[in-house]
């Protein structure tokens, strides 16, 4: 594979015009859209209007006029199309962490005889931390088992199973339908964290029988830094859900200003306080950009980018060990490579304008976001990395210094 | 009081130049800054930079370079100066509702013998709803008593007392120091909701002996629609707090990616998921605008505006009944007037470019935000209202129609 061949792939890419919809900085190769999605160009004007006209000129009137009040449902319905859910099954609210907490507290309350919440050791930390807090509040345990032992650990006294569909580090993907079916045999509800799969891999929550899910707005959905998250509940499970967190925006009549709480019908009850409108409106631009592209084409391109990346890495950077499954059905849209010096190597890459990220203790993680990642990006990234390895540029002392955020 | 006299008051107002820092629409009289603060002009450029450069060009690097990661603490320290707290005692996170939940779950866990959470009937609904959910989760009751009965209802078996310092509707203000002292006699912790007092009235949490508080970013702090909220815990109470909600951003080492949760030192543990950065940066502009003004001058002007408003209302709109206490020490910075037809009257006012708000069932609420409310604003607002009442303009059928948000 040569640079010219990579360029030829870009020229033939049916998604290539979507890249123009993103404001990618010249000279930078961005392979970290799985951590913070790139800026959709449309968001610049949308945010300017939101700040200057909606907030500045129309002020409080925008709650009705600009339908700020309906944004969580409106954007939720759009995300539903990305994840294979129906209108009214997804709502945008708070953070992924807080949405997990809502679901866990509601589900543990439904199963008072249960003794533990089940999850995976090495799951994304916030999932585990939230589950530990929810378990403590419910007076039950958190049981963490290895990935291989999950299916066998589902038991009658499991309050809920919390799994991340695509692992943030390894990129390994669970078989959602199989695990959901296995859990249903014991009536154990499963919460799927879709943070690394929404917008990354084909999702059909309805077909998989998934009943509960959460996900992140700022990764593949390109919603901006710290964008609000989403939560999904299958329609038939919504009415019974009573999260411990219940606030006025989730009340059936918030502007009646009454003491008694009555959960709003459907997903409305998953709202708590007033949503951060500016961040919400940025998220909507990202979701719109995702919906404009064909889902099958995105996944096909993700696979081609992955195969090209892993092929070039094996050829030109053989010191790295691929930790992501090669079977496309068993992984997400990022590729992770282990190397004992992954931290300074990643710093050297960033210095050379190739942005991936490091995940402790030894992983270089490269995100493939087919909306805007080009084949040339991948070719150049490996070329730069091969140069860094050959010249040992990464040994510069400054690259050993740790930053606040990795 | 004539219009000329009102203008003369503006000309002599030491705070008058602060109004230029806000993008108020020409022709509109805005008396709803207690619901959504006006746009600080500085926020336009800040938000453009946040979107186009920090997100668009610098991408993930901005977490370190632009110190997105430190924003909750940095803005919290600024808000601390508004509320009379010390550095490290305030952090910006989530919504007011969720912050109340964090405090209530942590405090009820500390008092396992307690039988109830205590609050005021008619408190802002989200406070009551959150308290009901936290009580249910802890297996205890929520006890609501009238305002007059609060002090007498504090008992040894009260888990926590949750009060809103300035009432959202009546504007009545509690004596924070007296109630905190009364609660301390029985070791009952008090959580103060400062949503209608932070930036509105002089606050000195330290002097009042207040240990726990929350507050809103989008009202008097001018943080933008749905701006993130803040939470305060006196330094000596921080180490013992373990909210049921615990997420990775509140971990001592979030980027170590470990299963075990260890609360960050100090207020860091009150962070849960990733903060909505765009909304956070807008909030910082609002807080900066507040800090640029002299606190004593703000409160002095608030009182003058209140006296002028209530004087003019008594004179020109005698059908309205003032429900806000006239004693300045016993109220906030808004004035509420009861009238059986407050809904359509408020709609008629909005149509005439005078923006206040309606609070069910019968209150017209007018916010006085001395950073940008002028004496002329108040004079003109009453003049418009007197005209609406004299001509019965409010009886138009379209004004009876209810909107989604009041």
- pLDDT of B139-194, one tens digit each? 999 999 999 999 999 999 999 999 999 999 999 999 999 999 999 999 999 999 99
Q: Is A78 a catalytic residue?
A: no
Q: Is A372 a catalytic residue?
A: no
Is the CB of residue B63 less than 8 Å away from at least one CB of chain A?
yes
pLDDT at site A405: 87
Residue of chain A minimizing CA distance to B143: A259
> How many angstroms separate the CA of residue A8 from the nearest CA in chain B?
27
Spatial contact of A22 and B52, defined as CB atoms under 8 Å apart: no
Residues of A in contact with B280 (CB under 8 A): 226
CATH class of A46-291: alpha beta
Residues 208-247 of A with CB under 8 A from B: 218, 224-229, 243-247
Q: Give B262→chain A minimum CA distance, Å.
A: 9
**A232 marked ligand binding residue:** no
> How far apart are the CA of B326 and the nearest CA of chain A, in angstroms?
24
Give the pLDDT confidence of B99-132 residue by residue, as tens digits: 999 999 999 999 999 999 999 999 999 999 999 9
Q: If you measure CA to CA, which chain A residue comes closest to B134? A: A244
pLDDT in tens, B377-386: 999 999 999 9
Q: What is the pLDDT of residue B403?
A: 87
- The vertex-A305 CA angle with A302 and A308, nearest 5°, equals 150
Residue of A nearest to B276 (CA): A226
* CB contact (8 A) between residue B59 and residue A405: no
Q: Are B245 and B105 within 8 A, CB to CB?
A: yes
Residues B2-14, mean pLDDT to the nearest whole number: 98
From the list A56, A125, A279, the residue facing B257 with the nearest CB is A125
Please give the residue of chain A at the shortest CA–CA distance from B97. A273
Closest by Cβ to B224, choosing from A169, A278, A359? A278
SS3 (DSSP) at A366: strand
Q: How far is A22 from chain B (nearest CA, A)?
A: 8
Task: Please indicate whether residue B218 is annotated as part of the active site.
Answer: yes
Q: What's the rounded Cα separation, in Å, for the pair A204 and A226?
A: 25
Which residues of chain B are within 8 Å of residue A273 when distances are taken between CB atoms?
94-98, 126, 229
> What whole-number percentage of chain B has pLDDT above 90?
99
Considering only CB atoms, A60 lies closest to which of B32, B122, B276, namely: B32
Closest residue in A to B124 (Cα–Cα) = A257
CATH 3.90.1150.10 in chain A: give the residue spans. Answer: 3-30+294-400
Query: Is residue B234 over pLDDT 90?
Result: yes
- Residues B391 and A178: their CA atoms lie apart, in Å, by 70
Q: What is the pLDDT of residues A31-40, one digit of tens each?
A: 999 999 999 9
Give the number of other Cβ atoms within 10 Å of residue A145's Cβ.
15
Taking CB atoms and an 8 Å limit, are A133 and B244 in contact across chains?
yes
Q: What is the pLDDT of residue B54?
A: 98
**B146–A contact, CB cutoff 8 A:** no
Interchain contact, B129 vs A246, CB within 8 Å: yes
Q: Is A134 helix (H, G, I), strand (E, B) or coil?
A: helix
Q: Which residue has the tokens 């993930």?
A: B60
Task: Identify the segments of chain A with pLDDT beneath 70.
Answer: none
Whether A129 and B261 lie within 8 Å, measured CB to CB: yes
If contacts are CB pairs under 8 Å, which of residues 76-95 in chain A contact chain B? 94-95
Is the Cβ pair B134, A244 closer than 8 Å? Answer: yes
User: Is the CB of residue A74 less than 8 Å away from at least one CB of chain B?
Assistant: no
**Residue B404: predicted pLDDT:** 83
Is A126 assigned a ligand-binding role in the annotation?
yes
pLDDT at A313: 98
Chain A residue nearest residue B360, CA to CA: A256
Q: Is B143 labeled as catalytic in the residue annotation?
A: no
CATH class of B3-30+294-394: alpha beta
Burial of residue A20 (number of CB atoms within 10 Å: 0-12, 13-18, 19+): exposed
Residues of A in contact with B254 (CB under 8 A): 125
The 8-class DSSP code of residue A37 comes to P
Instruction: Say whether the ipTM exceeds 0.95.
Output: yes
B383 is catalytic: no
Inter-CA distances, B76 with B73, B107, B267, B352, Å: 5, 22, 10, 38
Q: Is A187 exposed, middle or buried (0-12, 13-18, 19+ CB in 10 A)?
A: exposed
Q: Residue B94: phi, psi to the nearest 5?
A: 50, -145
B136 interaction partners in chain A (CB closer than 8 Å) = 244
Minimal CA separation from B256 to chain A, in Å? 6
Give residue-wise pLDDT tens across range A75-119.
999 999 999 999 999 999 999 999 999 999 999 999 999 999 999
Residues of chain B with CATH 3.40.640.10: 46-291
pLDDT band with cut points at 50, 70 and 90 for residue B317 = very high
Give domain A3-30+294-400's CATH architecture.
Answer: Alpha-Beta Complex (3.90)
pLDDT tier for residue B405 given thresholds of 50, 70 and 90: confident
Please give, rounded to a whole number of angstroms, the shortest distance from the CA of B30 to a CA of chain A: 9
Cβ–Cβ gap B225/A277 under 8 Å: yes
Residues 6+ apart with CB under 8 A from A361: none
Whole-number pLDDT of residue B406: 80
Q: Work out the number of other CB atoms within 10 angstroms of the CB of residue B294.
A: 12
Of the partner residues A129, A137, A257, the one whose CB lies closest to the CB of residue B125? A257
254-273 in B: which are within 8 Å (CB) of A?
Answer: 254-259, 261, 272-273
Chain B 347-406, residues with CB within 8 Å of chain A CB atoms:
350, 355, 357, 359-360, 403-406
- Give how far A356 is from chain B: nearest CA, Å: 9
- Residue B145 near chain A (CB below 8 Å): no
Instruction: Give B70-89 pLDDT, tens digit per residue.
Output: 999 999 999 999 999 999 99
What pLDDT is recorded for position B85?
98
The token duo for A94 is 């708070």
B405/A227 CB distance under 8 A: no
Q: B26 Cβ partners below 8 Å, 6+ apart?
A: none
């Amino acid at each position: 594979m040569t640079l010219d061949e990579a360029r030829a792939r870009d020229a033939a890419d049916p998604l290539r015009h979507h890249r123009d919809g993103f404001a990618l900085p010249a000279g930078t190769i961005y392979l970290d859209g799985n951590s913070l999605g790139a800026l959709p160009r449309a968001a610049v004007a949308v945010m300017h209007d939101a700040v200057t006209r909606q907030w500045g000129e129309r002020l409080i009137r925008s709650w009705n006029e600009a339908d700020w009040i309906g944004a969580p449902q409106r954007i939720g319905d759009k995300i539903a199309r990305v994840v294979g859910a129906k209108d009214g099954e997804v709502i945008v609210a708070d953070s992924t962490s807080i949405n997990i907490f809502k679901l866990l507290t509601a589900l543990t309350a439904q199963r008072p005889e249960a003794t533990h919440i089940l999850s995976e050791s090495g799951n994304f930390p916030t999932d585990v931390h939230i589950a530990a807090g929810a378990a403590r509040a419910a007076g039950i345990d958190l049981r963490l088992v290895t990935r291989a032992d999950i299916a066998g650990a589902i038991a009658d006294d499991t309050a809920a199973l919390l799994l991340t569909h695509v692992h943030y580090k390894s990129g390994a993907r669970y078989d959602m339908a199989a695990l959901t079916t296995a859990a249903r045999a014991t009536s154990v509800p499963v919460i799927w964290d879709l943070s690394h799969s929404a917008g990354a891999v084909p999702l059909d929550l309805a077909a998989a029988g998934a009943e509960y899910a959460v996900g992140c707005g700022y990764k593949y959905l390109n919603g901006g830094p710290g964008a609000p998250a989403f939560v999904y509940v299958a329609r038939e499970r919504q009415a019974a859900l009573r999260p411990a967190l219940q606030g006025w925006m989730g009340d059936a009549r918030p502007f009646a200003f009454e003491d008694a709480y009555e959960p709003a019908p459907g997903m409305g009850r998953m709202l708590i306080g007033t949503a951060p409108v500016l961040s919400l409106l940025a998220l909507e631009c990202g979701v719109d950009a995702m919906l404009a592209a064909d889902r099958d084409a995105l996944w096909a391109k993700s696979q081609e980018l992955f195969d090209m990346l892993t092929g070039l890495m094996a050829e030109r950077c053989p010191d790295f060990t691929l930790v992501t499954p090669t079977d496309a059905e068993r992984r997400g849209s990022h590729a992770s490579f282990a190397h004992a010096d992954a931290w300074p190597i990643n710093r050297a890459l960033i210095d050379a304008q190739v942005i991936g990220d490091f995940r402790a203790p030894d992983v270089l993680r490269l995100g493939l976001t087919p909306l805007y990642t080009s084949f040339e990006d991948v070719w150049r990234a490996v070329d730069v990395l091969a140069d860094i390895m050959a010249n040992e540029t990464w040994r510069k002392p400054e690259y050993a210094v740790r930053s606040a955020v990795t």
